[in-house]
Amino acid sequence: MERLFVALPLPDEAVERLVDLQWGLPRARWSDPDQLHVTVAFVGEVRASEGAALRRTLADVDLPPVSLVLRGVGHFPGKGAPRVVWAGVEPTPSLLALKRRVDQAVGAANLRQERRRFRPHVTLARLSDTPSARVAEFEATRSLFRAPPMSVESVDLMRSVLLPEGADYQRVQRVQLRG
């Protein structure tokens, strides 16, 4: 069994801008720069044969590059103690078209599709007992964060390996977006 998800890799300029945001929260476990991404679809635990079927259907994704716009910061969950801080990703038409096409590929591989509403974001940190007031301050000081539009020319199938110190993400397949 392997735990899979489909993600947009981030251009170096996006990673640099996001790393500049990663400070100022106590007890935050900041995401490593090489692990920053936008999850397009979480697939979950699959058998080897299911993973192979997904690799085949994803290889058929034929869309143009995606316009990526990073904007704002926030946290999850909306109620209760904050557990994750994130940078927002605008749901551009090209990103939403990719999401639909990836969902079709997941369905074509006979895998269950995620039911949660698509809220594109980049996870900046996971929190452990970080005071809500500090999270509010973090968000207020970064509320005007915005990066210029960038083009993302590939989508990745990723494996998530859960470790005691957090998840390690490994690329399984890269599909070029050519359209």
The answer to whether residues 87 and 147 touch, using CB atoms and an 8 Å cutoff, is no
Find, among 150, 42, 134, the residue nearest to 95 by Cα. Answer: 150
Considering the candidates 17, 37, 99, 101, report the single residue annotated as catalytic: 37
d(CA 133, CA 123): 19
The answer to whether residues 70 and 144 touch, using CB atoms and an 8 Å cutoff, is no
75 is a catalytic site residue: no
The answer to whether residues 60 and 105 touch, using CB atoms and an 8 Å cutoff, is yes
d(CA 43, CA 33): 23
How are beta strands 121-127 and 37-46 bridged, if at all? unpaired
Find, among 147, 177, 179, the residue nearest to 7 by Cα. Answer: 177
Considering the candidates 121, 126, 138, 169, report the single residue annotated as catalytic: 121
Task: Show which residues are catalytic.
Answer: 37, 121
